[in-house]
Structure 1
Amino acid sequence: MFGSLGIYNYRLYASGQIISLVGVWMQRVAQDWLVLELTNGSPVALGFAASLQFLPVLLLSMWGGVLADRMDKRKLLLWLESALGVCALALGLLDVTGVVQLWHVFVLCFLLGCFSAVETPVRQSFVVEMVGRESLTNAVAINSMMFNLARIVGPAIAGVTIVAIGTGWVFLANAISFVGVVGGIWLMRTSQLLRSDPVPREKGQLLSGLRYVRHRPDLLAVMLLVFFISTFGMNFYMTLAIMARNVFGGDADAYGLLSTLIAVGTFAGATLATRRKKPRMTVFIGSGLVFGLLEIVSGVMPTMLLTGLMMIPVGVAMMTFNTTANATVQLAVEPEMRGRVMGIYMLVFLGGNPVGGPLMGWLGEINGRAPIIVGGAVSMLVTITAWIILRKRGDIPPLGRKPADESAAPSSPTRSQPSLHR
């Protein structure tokens, strides 16, 4: 079940990642809460902050994929992870010294988004160089488990820490956590990396990646459905904060609790994914439909406790959907296209947030429950539509079908959602 951890380089990577991911989730809760504090609980401001952080995905994620195909991924990651840590350090120092203003948060959200947009496809396409083709599927599941374990621990710690000593120290703790991931990458044995040959710099490489996906109906179907569900249905970084504060009148620890409970579900979903040998159409479509239905039910629960309990099955369905989509994309591309395809995937996974964030924030101003209910309804609608279209198109290949070139290596594994983006 944890075979990839027997590989020295991946073990270093995983050790650093789990420390850093806890810090990232702590910062995510603290950042959302800081925006609410600075704006007297404005959902629109929270949505705008999210848009600034995700907007760079539209501009830079595909270029990050191009860089991943062209350059030494390990060296590139060292610089990018360090830059992410500096952003956390800057926000922490501004906060603990009492000079932080809303525009400071907005600027750092944008800078963080820029670095993350490039880092994510590079990191995802690097994992296969550590573990090789044979251990790739296992590494995909372990990455998801680490991400969601951190998602359980991070918000819980952040909620208690914010109440006790404030948001600033959470940002500083996240800055320190990047020492783990940077150190792990630095200490790797480069001779044991299974590197693919860098793609020579040529004109039109970005467009060639888009054409590649356009001519792969299986990848195109997955990415379109991922775009709509992630844009409108997976805004929990914002919808849970609105529910905790504006619907149930809770504090930061209430938001942390809701975030932790959905993370329990996503961790369970990631664990189940380790036993799944290959992605299937029925699992992909079914999980999208169930996710939307459960999200609607969670949005109408009368108490915060019941809402939190509903977050557990919502998390299971969400992670099942995400891991199936990720496995399909990563196991179906040629090595020379790996970075670019993952850059496109991150574009569709996170690129809709500049639209979805403000829209959900506007709905939250009208009714605190509206964003999560509407998000679930949209998820159900697009999943049903996709199912009807795929049923009619008998020429759509099954999810996860290998490329014509059987010798092609699969792509690399990932963290759910990034994202966060980590």
Structure 2
Amino acid sequence: MWTPLRQPVFRALWTASAVSSVGTWMHDVGAAWLMTSLSPSPFLIALMQAASSLPFFLLALPAGALADVVDRRKMILWTQGWMLIVATLLGFLTLANITTPWILLVLTFALSLGSSMNMPVWQAVTPELVEKEELPQAITLSGIVVNLSRSIGPALAGIIIAQAGTGAVFLLNAASFVGVIIVVYQWRRTPQKSGLPTERFIGAVQAGIRYVRYAPTFQSVLIRTSAYILFASALFALLPLLGRRELKLDAFGYGMILGFWGIGGLAGAFILPKLREQFSIDKLVAGSSVLMGIMLLALGTVRNFYVVCALMLLVGIASLSCMVSFSVSAQTAVPTWVRARALSVQLLVFQGCMTLGSLLWGAVAQRTSITVALTSAGVGLIVGVALTARYRLRCAEKLDLRSSLHWDQPTNVFEPCPNDGPVLISLEYRIDPANAEEFTKAMQALSQIRRRDGAIRWGLYQDLSDPGRFVETQIVESWAEHKRQFERVTNSDRLIEERVRAFHIGEKPPKVSQMIYSKYTDGQGLRQPCG
């Protein structure tokens, strides 16, 4: 599990993120505790979670697009600097007794803006720092950071709040960003080079959406993630209220509950590698989700502090197992060129369900009781496991998403400008008419790849006068986007292409034609070359 720490840059970033994560959990406890002091409304308290989650829902996809087209190192520096400023402002306002419920919500929202811009690029950087076979261990180590900080941060926050107030907690969180900024500033990242122009922002967003739309393996990850978070969010939203109103705890006692949650997650990080050897990732997620649902049912009725602490240990194990599994599945289901955008969509789904769930369970608790809200969420989580079982996560681990670079570039008379287009690409196949139906079915899998990697339109046509002649067509919005398709096709895609080509009976490979939309000519019927 510790092998990724042999990589110096990963080790430095992991250490800095551990310190920053402690500060984040201290801040979360301080903010939640301050809100319960400023307002007794369950809805406002649940709105804190919504204020933290909503920016991810709004900005995750744009942040992912930026992370795929700009220097990721610089983007991390900017986002960390923004969070440093906001946390410092909130700290000073709280020390001056100026903070109100709405100021706290606004600055929580602002801090989450920085985090929502930072998280996609941070996740996309991890595969750059370790080998592919070390990625599950690297993500588990990140889970250790989260849960270790969840163990330490809340307890420290409880002590500091009792001694110096919540303002001091906010300022310490601000200081924790400094370490990350220093480490990232010193990192000499080697950017990936390409002979093609950088994708435009709007085009990058569209490419990310198009990829997710036609990537069923990644869609399975999103469905399983949403089914878990929508109901598990009840605990995130209502735990402050459970601690203060139902268990009558002070800040230190509430921090202890979160600390046991973190200890459970830390234990889960050591248990998880053994579980992965014994069970498939689908069985692991299903079992952990059911365990989380049972814990919600228990927390809905138990009001003994020590029993709640014991339950939170199991919550930590279940939540870490699910979140690490979802993260590994997402990262192994997408190639490098679109990784930040795809992960940002997962983050959007995660935070969107967190926001919706927080509002839902907060409203349920206000109209009924915390017991009803947690019990309903527990039942929903268990039922969700059965309803989403057919969406498999294991498929993502079997994909080889390295660029195959096996396409041959046809000989062209001239090279169009990168932004010229649209481009029409056609491939002509010779198929035995007796195999036409099977060929058509095989082409449907290929059509998803074409659309996923850049085609805005795709079609397969059969010649009425020659039933053995099939023509595949696709339209790509620009010449540059078509050239990017050559780099985007993966080894797993190549296997699907080979299954399709096996139906081709011609002596030569399928004929490929590239045609570009004609806007103007040189007066002799020939299109002028670029430049």
The normalised TM-score by structure 2 is 0.71
Higher RCO, 1 vs 2 (CA within 8 Å, ≥6 residues apart): 1
Q: Does the CA-based 8 Å contact 2:148-2:262 persist in structure 1? A: yes
2:59 paired residue number: 60
**Pair 1:333 & 2:334 matched:** yes
**What is the Cα deviation at residue 359 of structure 1?**
2.0
**Pair 1:261 & 2:260 matched:** yes
**What is the Cα deviation at residue 312 of structure 1?**
0.8
SS in 2 for 1:352: helix
Query: Which structure 1 residue ranges, 5 or more long, are not aligned?
Result: 391-395, 410-422
Q: Does the CA-based 8 Å contact 1:160-1:253 persist in structure 2? A: yes
**What is the Cα deviation at residue 356 of structure 1?**
1.6
**Pair 1:243 & 2:245 matched:** no
Q: How many residues align?
A: 400
Which residue identity does 1:336 align to in structure 2?
A: W
2:370 paired residue number: 368
- Partners of 1:203 and 1:73 in 2: CA distance: 18
1:415 paired residue number: none
**What is the Cα deviation at residue 217 of structure 1?**
2.6
2:229 paired residue number: 230
**What is the Cα deviation at residue 379 of structure 1?**
1.0
Matches within 5 A, 1:352-367: 352-365=353-366, 366-367=368-369
Query: Counting strand residues as a fraction of each chain, which structure ranks higher?
Result: 2
The superposition leaves residues 346-378 of structure 1 with CA deviations (integer Å, 9 ceiling, x where unpaired) of 011111233222222223323133332222122
SS in 2 for 1:200: coil
1:48 paired residue number: 47
1:17 paired residue number: 17
Query: Counting helix residues as a fraction of each chain, which structure ranks higher?
Result: 1
- Partners of 2:249 and 2:201 in 1: CA distance: 54
Matches within 5 A, 1:309-320: 309-320=310-321
SS in 1 for 2:396: coil
2:93 paired residue number: 94
Moved over 6 A (4+): none
Which residue identity does 1:111 align to in structure 2?
A: A
2:453 paired residue number: none
Q: 1:12 to 1:153 in 2, by over 3 A?
A: same
- Partners of 2:198 and 2:351 in 1: CA distance: 26
Which residue identity does 1:290 align to in structure 2?
A: L
Which residue identity does 1:289 align to in structure 2?
A: V
Which residue identity does 1:386 align to in structure 2?
A: T
**Pair 1:38 & 2:34 matched:** no
Q: Does the CA-based 8 Å contact 1:279-1:328 persist in structure 2? A: no
Q: Does the CA-based 8 Å contact 1:12-1:188 persist in structure 2? A: no
The superposition leaves residues 261-304 of structure 1 with CA deviations (integer Å, 9 ceiling, x where unpaired) of 11111122222234536962211222222221222123222412
- Name which of structure 1's ranges 273-282 and 90-99 shifts more when overlaid on structure 2: 273-282
SS in 2 for 1:234: helix
Q: 1:81 to 1:344 in 2, by over 3 A?
A: same
**Pair 1:185 & 2:187 matched:** no
Q: Does the CA-based 8 Å contact 2:227-2:388 persist in structure 1? A: no
Q: 1:199 to 1:292 in 2, by over 3 A?
A: farther
Which residue identity does 2:271 align to in structure 1?
A: L
Which residue identity does 1:7 align to in structure 2?
A: Q
2:351 paired residue number: 350
Q: Does the CA-based 8 Å contact 1:279-1:400 persist in structure 2? A: no
Question: Which residue, out of 396, 403, 418, partners 1:400?
Answer: 396
1:417 paired residue number: none
- Partners of 2:303 and 2:36 in 1: CA distance: 23
Q: Does the CA-based 8 Å contact 2:329-2:393 persist in structure 1? A: no
- Partners of 1:110 and 1:232 in 2: CA distance: 22
Q: Does the CA-based 8 Å contact 1:132-1:194 persist in structure 2? A: no
**Pair 1:74 & 2:73 matched:** yes
2:204 paired residue number: 205
The superposition leaves residues 242-272 of structure 1 with CA deviations (integer Å, 9 ceiling, x where unpaired) of 1111111111112111111111111222222
- Partners of 1:231 and 1:138 in 2: CA distance: 27
**What is the Cα deviation at residue 6 of structure 1?**
1.6
Percent identity over paired residues: 28
Q: Does the CA-based 8 Å contact 2:46-2:237 persist in structure 1? A: yes
Q: 1:223 to 1:397 in 2, by over 3 A?
A: closer
Query: Which structure 2 residue ranges, 5 or more long, are not aligned?
Result: 405-487, 489-531
Which residue identity does 1:135 align to in structure 2?
A: E
Q: 1:252 to 1:196 in 2, by over 3 A?
A: farther
Which residue identity does 1:20 align to in structure 2?
A: S
Q: 1:249 to 1:405 in 2, by over 3 A?
A: closer
Q: Does the CA-based 8 Å contact 2:54-2:352 persist in structure 1? A: yes
Q: Does the CA-based 8 Å contact 1:61-1:117 persist in structure 2? A: yes
Q: Does the CA-based 8 Å contact 2:61-2:344 persist in structure 1? A: yes
Q: 1:397 to 1:296 in 2, by over 3 A?
A: closer
Q: 1:194 to 1:200 in 2, by over 3 A?
A: closer
2:145 paired residue number: 146
Q: 1:404 to 1:10 in 2, by over 3 A?
A: closer
Q: Does the CA-based 8 Å contact 2:42-2:365 persist in structure 1? A: yes
- Partners of 2:238 and 2:99 in 1: CA distance: 24
- Partners of 1:254 and 1:370 in 2: CA distance: 24
Which residue identity does 2:302 align to in structure 1?
A: M
**What is the Cα deviation at residue 203 of structure 1?**
4.3
- Partners of 2:118 and 2:176 in 1: CA distance: 17
Q: 1:337 to 1:42 in 2, by over 3 A?
A: same
- Partners of 1:98 and 1:202 in 2: CA distance: 42
- Partners of 1:286 and 1:407 in 2: CA distance: 35
**Pair 1:379 & 2:381 matched:** yes
**What is the Cα deviation at residue 214 of structure 1?**
3.0
SS in 2 for 1:268: helix
Aligned CA RMSD, in angstroms, stands at 2.2
Kindly name which structure, 1 or 2, has the bigger radius of gyration based on alpha carbons. Answer: 2
Which residue identity does 2:138 align to in structure 1?
A: A
